[in-house]
Amino acid sequence: MKRKKRIAILGSTGSIGTQALDVISNNLNSFEVETLTANNNAELLIKQAMQFTPNQVVIANEEKYQFVKEALANYPIKVFAGEKAIAEVVQFSSIDIVLTAMVGYSGLTPTINAINAGKTIALANKETLVVAGEYISKLAIEKRVNILPVDSEHSAIFQCLTGEFHNPVEKILLTASGGPFRGKDINFLKNVTPEQALNHPNWCMGNKVTIDSASLMNKGLEAIEARWLFGLQPSQIEVVVHPQSIIHSMVQFEDGSIKAQMGLPDMRLPIQYALSYPERLKASWPRMNFADYPALTFEKPDLTVFRNLAIALDAMDKGGNMPCAMNAANEIAVEAFLCGHIGFLGMSDLIEKTLSKITFIKDSGIEDYQQTDKFARELALQLI
């Protein structure tokens, strides 16, 4: 009998984390929960810990440490608090796979520590590769660590490449739903509210990812992530708007053949594939019926209306510390939009103004990324 894979979920109370626990609960013969971490949602973290009894939990908000510790006092669960604790627990020898489902820049240090400790990474935190893709890629090769993509688009590419790793890729086609504002013009976007932007037509995601999807920044972040995950040049990455979200992405090979991975929009599938790879486990979620989708359509993204995608692709072309600065400014911009401090189009303005004041560093090390992130955030906050 195969030993169960022991999983650490960083960000267990978020959208990816909760769906990952759903996958695990349906495959208890294959997986067990070793570690759970949350940023602020202590109540849900406690419920999850009671259900799965991991060896340890971490609440990043240190003010909630006592609350979590007391709630789990009768359980054989170690309780830690603080961001440093999250970065430390990923190195525990009892962990096989680290699922990084934290949002934003906060996932970088734990991912680096997990790679250094030789853990397999199931990557749902795209910002890790956006901020420090070159560094992370080299480190993973050096430590002989597998980084398995969890994003539906990158999982699709990975699945298309399985059995094809020896064949050169001509390009990849990242599909985008177009979000809730596909086909809208700039005049419409001027008056968009956070509530409208959070109403995604196909996917159920956390607030930050949903806003990024509405502005198409998410697709820019995914393009940068794909560059480092699959060793591509920017010219080999094409974004295609596919409103039905049935084809999750495609790979075009040198002979012109294109492979596509298809399925209903359900994040549990790529999560399960990353955790179970190289095996596929039986799943009970709904199957796609082609009769329900008689037409699959494709179009080019409008880079004039959705400037965030253009900004991200430009940052990818420039390389160095520019994607890191862009990511930092975008995180500040999304929060400002959600809080009503700037408009939907103001996010692009804020990111562009921030990047115009950033000193470009072509060959960036980890300290350069840390300083760039800090400076870009401070600058973006001042510009608001």
Threshold 0.75, pTM exceeds: yes
pLDDT score of 202: 65
- Domain membership of residue 183 (yes or no) is no
- Domain membership of residue 40 (yes or no) is yes
User: Which helix (H) or strand (E) covers residue 35, if one does?
Assistant: strand 31-38
pLDDT score of 5: 97
pLDDT score of 338: 94
* Nearest of 337, 338, 335, 321 to residue 373 by alpha carbon: 321
Residue in the block written with tokens 């007391």: 70
- Domain membership of residue 62 (yes or no) is yes
* Nearest of 151, 184, 225, 206 to residue 335 by alpha carbon: 206
Mean pLDDT by 10 residues, the chain (384 residues): 92 95 97 97 98 98 97 97 96 97 86 96 92 93 97 97 94 95 94 89 74 94 96 97 97 98 96 97 94 96 97 97 96 95 97 97 92 96 94
- Percentages helix, strand, coil for the chain (3-state, rounded to 5) are 45, 15, 35
Question: 97: domain range?
Answer: 5-145
Half-sphere exposure of 53 (CA within 13 A, CB side): 5
- Domain membership of residue 365 (yes or no) is no
Let me know if 229 is exposed, middle or buried by CB neighbors in 10 A (0-12, 13-18, 19+): buried
- Domain membership of residue 96 (yes or no) is yes
pLDDT score of 204: 62
How many domains in the chain? 1
* Nearest of 288, 287, 304 to residue 296 by alpha carbon: 288
- Domain membership of residue 223 (yes or no) is no
Quote the CA–CA distance of 269 and 153 in Å, as a whole number. Answer: 12
- What angle (nearest 5°) sits at the alpha carbon of residue 105, between those of residues 132 and 91? 80
pLDDT score of 199: 82
Mean pLDDT for the chain? 95
Quote the CA–CA distance of 78 and 85 in Å, as a whole number. Answer: 12
- Domain membership of residue 22 (yes or no) is yes
pLDDT score of 127: 84
β-pair partners for 258: 252
pLDDT score of 206: 75
Quote the CA–CA distance of 330 and 312 in Å, as a whole number. Answer: 10
- Domain membership of residue 69 (yes or no) is yes
Look up the CATH number of the domain holding residue 26: 3.40.50.720
Token pair of 356 as six digits: 């115009």
